[in-house]
Structure 1
Amino acid sequence: MREARTGYIEVAFNGSLENIPLDAQFSLPAKGVTAIFGPPGCGKTTLARCIAGVQRLPIGFCAVDGEIWQDETTFRPPHRRPVAYVFRPPIPLAHWSVRRTLLYRASQSTPTLIDFDGVVELLALAPLLERSPSHLSAAERQRLALGSALLGQPRLLLLDDPLIVLDRSAKREILPFLERMRETLPLPMIYISDDIADIERLADHLVMMKDGVVTSAGPLNVVQSDPVLARRGEAAVCLDTLVGGYDGRYGLIMLRLNRARLAIPGVPLRPGAQLRLRIAASDVSIACAPPRTSSILNVFPARIKGSLPFGEAEVTLVLALETGRSGVPLLARITRRSFDALRLSNGADVFAEVARAVPFAAADRYLQCLPRSA
C-alpha cells in the first residue's frame, strides 16, 4: 500500500471517465503554486475534479501533506476534503451584500488559515463590502469567490482556469492578488490553465499534460527547458532572484541568483525582495570564451545539456548555468550556422550572454523610495 509523505501533493490516477482517458502521476511540494498546463481537452479539468473528489476513478491515489484522500481502501467525498475548488466567477446571491456573503462563509469554519479581516485586507475588499455581489464586475466577483474560498480554511486551493472568462484588463487586476495569496498564505495552490504567460508569472512548479497523460512535472524552470516547451517559438525560462541592492548612478537593480550576480535596468526595490525574471531563448547568445569587452552585462559560465532543431535555420540550446551545485536551467536560440561555426556539442562548456531579462510587474509592490546614490 502506498504511503503519503508530509510536505507533498501526491497524485496517481489511471483509468477513464466518460471515455476520457487519464494517466496522471506526479509528486510535488505542497507549497506555492503548482500549475497544470496543456492544450484544451487534454484532461486538466478531469484531473482537477478527481483531486477534489467530484469525480472518482477506482484506480487512484491522492494525498496532500501526508493526508490520504484516496487510495485502495479510502475515498473521501468532496465535503470531507479540505479543498476549495474555484473556477470561473460565480453569480452570488443578489440579495446578500459582499459583507454578509463573507461573514456567512466565515461563520462555518474556525479561522485556522485566515479570518474575515485578513481576507478583506488581502483581497482589498473593503470598498466592496456594502455592495450587492450582482453589481460587481467579473474581476470583483472573482476576488469575492477567492475570499469565500479562503474563509473555508482549506488545506489546498484548486483554481481551475479562474481567469478564462476575464478580459485582459480584468486579468491584470486579479493576477497581483493571486501572487499576494501565494506569498502571504501557507496554502498550496493548484492552478490549471492553458495560458503559459499566466503560468510563467504565478507558478513555482509545473505539470505538463497531453491526451490525458502527465508528460512532465517539476520546478517551473526545469520543465520550461523540457523539449515540449523549449521548441516553442516563444520559449523562455523564469528565474527567481533576490534583490541585493541598487546602482543609482546607472539605474540598475542588482540581483542574486545562487552564486551569480545580475544587473538589470529598473527602479529601486526593497533589498531581499524576490524578483522573477523571464529570459527568452531569443535573448541569450553563446560565446566559447569570456568576452573581454561587450555591452552585455550578464555573462555566465554554462554547459550545453541538449540541442533542439528550431525550423530550418536555428537551434535551441538547453543550458545549465554554473551558479552552484545544481546548474540553473536556461535556453538560448542561435542560428545553425553559429552552432556549426563554434563547433558546439552536448556537454560543451560555454558562456551564456543574457542580453535581456524582463521582470514581472508583480515586483511593483516592493518599490520603495531609495536615494539615487544608493
Structure 2
Amino acid sequence: MSVLDVDIKGRAGSFEIETAFSAGPGVTALFGPSGAGKSTLLKMIAGTARPLSGRIVAAGRTLYDSAAGIDLPPERRGIGFVFQEARLFPHLSVRRNLTYARWAGRRRGTRPFDEVVALLGIGDRLDNAPATLSGGERQRVAIGRALLADPALLLMDEPLSSLDKARRAEILPYLEAIRAEAGIPIVYVSHETAEVAQLADTVVLIEAGRVTAVGPAAAMLARLSLAAGSDASEAATLLEGRVIETDPAYHTATIALDGGQLELTGDGFAEGMIVRLRVRAADVAIASVAHDGLSIRNQLPCLVGEVRRDGAFAMVTLHLGEQRLIARITAKSADMLNLAPGRKAYALLKAVSVEMARVERREMPG
C-alpha cells in the first residue's frame, strides 16, 4: 500500500531534480551523498519549495499537481517536519514548544500529549527552557512538536547530523519507538548507512537529483556495499529473524533465520520477537565445511553467489535462503577455498560482532 507517491521535476538554483518513487508504511529513507538533492526533495514534498511540474500525493490527498493546478500551502498538507537543528523557541518552555504547532494552527489534536511525552522520555523536562537541554533532548522535543501537530506524514531531514555519536545512540531508540508505535509513515533523509539499517523499511537511492533505485532496506544496503567505489571497509548487510529460544543463564538468544539459526548475546529478548541484524562484511569469515571445537558457534550454511575481487581482497556474496550476507576476505583465502558461484560454504559469525539494528515485538507474517 502506497502512502506517498512522488513524480516531479524541479530546480534548486542550477541543480535539477527529476524524481519518481512510491513509499509504503513505515520508514522510507532517502539515501545518497551530500548534495544529491535529498533535502530539496523533502522541501518540495513539504511545500516549502515548489517543483516545476509533476504530482505529489500523500495519504490519498493530492498535495501538488501541476496539470490540475493544485499546490497546497505547507500548513494545509498535514505534514510534520523535523530539521537537522531542533529550532525550538528559546523563550518558551518545553511544554509550550511541544504544543506550539497546535496553538498556532488552532487545532485540538487527536494524539494525547502525555502519550507523546512518554514515548520520547521528556516528562521530567516539561518546565525546562531549551537552553538547559542536551542536544539529544532538544531534538526529541522537536520530534514531539511535530507529532503533536497530528501529521499524516512525518519528514525528517538528517535529524541526527548535528549530534555526536553518543547523542545519536541516545536518540535512535526513540526514533525506533516512533516507527513502531506512532503509526505515522516517515520519510527520513540520511547519508549514514548505520541509521538507515536501524530505521528504514524502504530505501530510495538518490544521486545528482535522480532516483537510481528503490527497494527493501536489506537489498538496497547490500547493493550499496557491492557498488564500485563504495567504502569496502564499511560494507554490511542486514538479516531478519525471529527469536525462538532464550537462555537466561548465558544471556543468549537463538534467532531463526531463513536457512539457519544464529545465537546472539544480550538481554531483553523474548520468544517471538523479530530482530533485524546488521553484519559487517569484515566480520564474516568463510569455511568450506563446518568445524567443531571453535569458539565461533555461529556457522551458517550458505551458497556462494558473486565473488568480486578488488586487489588483495574479495567481496563474496553468500545466499542464506532468501537472505544474503557479504563477506570481505582476502583474495588468497578465496582462492584457497576455491569459492565459486553455486558452491556450498559456511559463514562464521562471532556473536559479539553482530549489531542489533532493530527489535520489534511482532510475529513474522505467515
Same-fold call, TM cutoff 0.5: yes
Q: Which sections of structure 2, spanning at least 5 residues, go unmatched?
A: 362-366
CA distance 1:227–1:141, shift in 2 (3 Å):
closer
Cα deviation, 1:192-219, whole Å, max 9, x if unaligned, reads: 1222222222222222222222222211
* Cα distance, 1:169–1:286 mapped onto 2, change above 3 Å: closer
Preserved contact between residue 260 and residue 301 of structure 2 (Cα < 8 Å): no
Instruction: Report if the CA contact (8 A) 1:244-1:272 is conserved.
Output: yes
Aligned length: 353
Q: 1:66 matched to which residue of 2? A: 60
Using the TM superposition, give the Cα deviation of residue 298 of structure 1 relative to its aligned residue in structure 2, in angstroms. 2.4
Taking the TM superposition and a 5 Å limit, the aligned residue runs for 1:104-183 are 104-107=100-103, 108-112=106-110, 114-183=111-180
- Deviation of 1:103 after TM superposition, in Å, equals 3.4
Counterpart CA distance in 1 for 2:246 and 2:269 is 8
By how many angstroms is 1:124 displaced?
Answer: 1.6
The whole-number CA distance in structure 1 between the counterparts of 2:121 and 2:252 is 32
In structure 1, list runs of 5 or more residues that go unmatched: 1-5, 367-374
Kept in 1, the 8 Å contact 2:258–2:320? The answer is no
Structure 1 Cα separation of the partners of residues 276 and 71 of structure 2: 39
Taking the aligned partners of 1:199 and 1:229, their CA distance within structure 2 comes to 17
**Is 150-159 or 274-283 further displaced after alignment?**
274-283
> Relative to structure 1, is the Cα distance of residues 111 and 261 closer, same or farther in structure 2, using a 3 angstrom cutoff?
farther
Deviation at residue 142 of structure 1 after TM alignment: 1.3
CA shift digits 1:37-88 (9 cap, x unpaired): 2221111111111221221222323223433323332333322211111103
Which amino acid is the alignment partner of residue 303 of structure 2? R
Partner AA of 1:354 in structure 2? L
Distance change >3 Å, CA 69–CA 319, structure 1 → 2: farther
The one-letter code sitting in structure 2 at the alignment partner of 1:255 is I
TM-score, scaled relative to structure 1: 0.84
Q: What aligned pairs does 1:304-323 form with structure 2 within 5 A after superposition?
A: 304-310=304-310, 312-322=311-321
> Which residue number corresponds to residue 271 of structure 1?
271
Which amino acid is 2:318 matched to? L
8 Å CA contact 2:218–2:237 kept in 1: the answer is yes
Query: Could you say which residue in structure 2 is the equivalent of 1:103?
Result: 99
Q: SS at the partner of 1:169? A: helix
Q: Secondary structure at the match of 2:211?
A: strand
Match of 2:194 in 1: 197
Query: How far, CA to CA, are the matches of 1:298 and 1:111 in structure 2?
Result: 49
Q: Is the 8 A contact 2:32 2:190 kept in 1?
A: yes
Counterpart in the other structure of 1:187: 184
What residue identity is the alignment partner of 1:179? E
> Aligned pair 1:40/2:34, yes or no?
yes
Please report the TM-score for the alignment, with normalisation by the length of structure 2.
0.86
Q: Using the alignment, how far apart are the partners of 1:251 and 1:100 within structure 2?
A: 43
1:338 equivalent in alignment to 2:333: yes
Quote the sequence identity (%).
36
Deviates more, 1:84-93 or 1:291-300: 291-300
What SS does the corresponding residue of 2:279 show, helix, strand or coil?
strand
| 1:86 pairs with 2:85 | no
Query: 3-state DSSP class of the match of 2:218?
Result: helix
Query: RMSD between aligned alpha carbons?
Result: 2.6
In structure 1, distance between residues paired with 2:132 and 2:292: 62
SS at 2:160 equivalent: coil
Are the aligned partners of 2:94 and 2:130 in contact in 1 as well (CA < 8 Å)?
A: yes
Judge which range, 197-206 or 41-50, deviates more: 197-206
